[in-house]
Amino acid sequence: MGDVAGIGPEIVARACVDPRVRACCHPFVVGDPQLLTRALRLVGCQTPVRTLASPSAVGAGDEKVDCWNACDKATAAELASIAPGKLDARAGRAAYEWLISAAQAALRSSVDAIVTAPLNKASLHLAGIDYPGHTEILAAECGVPHYAMMLYVPPSEYVRSARGLGVAHVTLHTSIASVPGLVTTDAVAEKISLLHEFLLRIGVERPRIGVSALNPHAGENGLFGDEETRVIQPGIDRCSREGWGVEGPIPADALLRRAIGGEFDGVVAMFHDQGHIPIKLVARDTAVNITLGLPIVRTSPSHGTAFDIAWKGIANPHGMIEAIQVAALLAGKKSEVGTTI
């Protein structure tokens, strides 16, 4: 359900009763049943909520929305009084506890995939939880040292690649000032490898991956920085020796334009905004956040908590619906090809 002071409950409520979601999976909510009921009524839906004791109690064959409140009872008792659109440690704590419980259920194979509504990083920190976001929490919970955040745009009018476009990031939730020191040859090669594996799993026979430069004009032969030749190129070369189709480092502005036009199936960006801005401009709510390298399937809409419109009944659920559909697709691929998405 994410941070209950944001739009998470509303987009979850809208998605759970959407025919497209019901056609691809049986959704159930890890969150608060009373807030879910309130969110359903907010969007004009009278569908009843069924409270579960555990994921194994999920019902099927009716129109009810199942909900499992996995957070601490003391935390749950406080949720009804949380103000919409405000930072609140209680909301951060509940979002964290629900996320951990969902991840554990997926690790036990009690569920096939998890889809996360947005959490607020400041509320998370107010609750004393020292993680910058979902990706890092899930990597720690799953015990994986190698992972990546990827924005994935399914095949659509927005991108011309036949299987869609994935954009993975070498660095993520960190300051711009820290990025050059975090971009290493090993990190570049690792993200290329994770992206290459993902593209194979969704049916791209010979993935074409473009790797972004860090500096403008790819450093302009060292005039604007030497990370391209010193750090990024060796990572590309390491993967090219595996016989993979990897090109770069390419100036970011040119690379993303070419990728959206269909020249690449995947892109490795060096930092958060380098990958996020062009994809969100082009694909808007269609882009789905996927965590690569986990032994479970996890997707998310690519937007945030949107405190400014929380609990007003106007939040667009399209990103959440898209994320659920992609999760259902990946859950099927996971059973076919292995354990790590």
Q: Does 298 map to a domain?
A: no
Q: Does 331 map to a domain?
A: no
- CB 93: neighbour CB atoms within 10 A? 22
Residues 168 and 257 in one domain: yes
- CB 104: neighbour CB atoms within 10 A? 16
pLDDT digits (tens, 9 = 90+) for 112-158: 999 999 999 999 999 999 998 899 999 999 999 999 999 999 888 88
Q: Exposed, middle or buried: residue 317 (CB in 10 Å: 0-12, 13-18, 19+)? A: buried
Structure token pair of residue 108 = 């036990």
Question: What is the sign of the dihedral through the CA atoms of 14, 16, 19 and 25?
Answer: positive
Q: Does 321 map to a domain?
A: no
* Residue at which a domain ends, from 276, 292, 308: 292
Q: Does 299 map to a domain?
A: no
pLDDT digits (tens, 9 = 90+) for 244-270: 999 999 999 999 999 999 999 999 999
Question: Does the N-terminal peptide bond of residue 249 adopt cis geometry, omega within 30 degrees of 0?
Answer: yes
Average pLDDT of the residues in 192-210 = 96
Per residue in 4-22, is it b (16+ CB within 10 Å) or e — as a string?
bbbbbbbbbbbbbbbeebe
- Across the chain, mean pLDDT equals 93
Residues 141 and 2 in one domain: yes
Residues 50 and 136 in one domain: yes
User: Is the pLDDT confidence value at 336 over 80?
Assistant: no
Residues 159 and 116 in one domain: no
Residues 232 and 279 in one domain: yes
Please tell me which residue, 173 or 271, carries the higher pLDDT value: 271
Instruction: Lowest mean pLDDT of 45-54, 65-74, 180-189, 275-284, name the range.
Output: 65-74
pLDDT-based confidence at residue 76 (cuts at 50, 70, 90): confident
Give the pLDDT score at 271: 97
Residue type, 234: P
User: Is the pLDDT confidence value at 55 over 90?
Assistant: no
Residues 160 and 219 in one domain: yes
Q: Does 70 map to a domain?
A: yes
* Residue at which a domain ends, from 85, 110, 145: 145
Report d(CA 10, CA 297) in Å as an integer: 23
Residues 224 and 127 in one domain: no
Q: Which phi and psi angles does 289 have, rounded to 5°?
A: -85, 125
Give the pLDDT score at 341: 42
Q: Does 323 map to a domain?
A: no
Question: 336, 285 in Cβ contact below 8 A?
Answer: no
Distances (CA, A) of 114 to 7, 66, 110, 228, 272: 18, 14, 11, 36, 23
User: Is the pLDDT confidence value at 337 over 50?
Assistant: no
C-alpha angle 260-190-270 in degrees, rounded to nearest 5: 50
Per residue in 41-56, is it b (16+ CB within 10 Å) or e — as a string?
ebbeeebebbebeebe
Instruction: Report the DSSP beta bridge partners of residue 222.
Output: 225
Report the CATH number that the domain containing residue 59 is assigned in CATH: 3.40.718.10
Domain of residue 254: give its range.
148-292
Residues 13 and 46 in one domain: yes
Q: Does 234 map to a domain?
A: yes
Give the pLDDT score at 24: 94
Average pLDDT of the residues in 157-165 = 89
Report d(CA 121, CA 337) in Å as an integer: 34
Residues 178 and 255 in one domain: yes
pLDDT-based confidence at residue 238 (cuts at 50, 70, 90): very high
pLDDT digits (tens, 9 = 90+) for 147-156: 999 999 988 8
Q: Does 313 map to a domain?
A: no
Q: Is the entire prediction scored with pTM above 0.85?
A: yes
Residues 84 and 190 in one domain: no
* Residue at which a domain ends, from 83, 118, 145: 145
Give the pLDDT score at 334: 62
Residues 132 and 160 in one domain: no
User: Is the pLDDT confidence value at 340 over 50?
Assistant: no
Residues 88 and 160 in one domain: no
Q: For the chain, what is the largest distance between any 2 Cα atoms, rounded to a whole number of angstroms?
A: 64
Average pLDDT of the residues in 36-59 = 91
Q: How many domains does the chain have?
A: 2
Average pLDDT of the residues in 183-189 = 98
Average pLDDT of the residues in 156-172 = 92
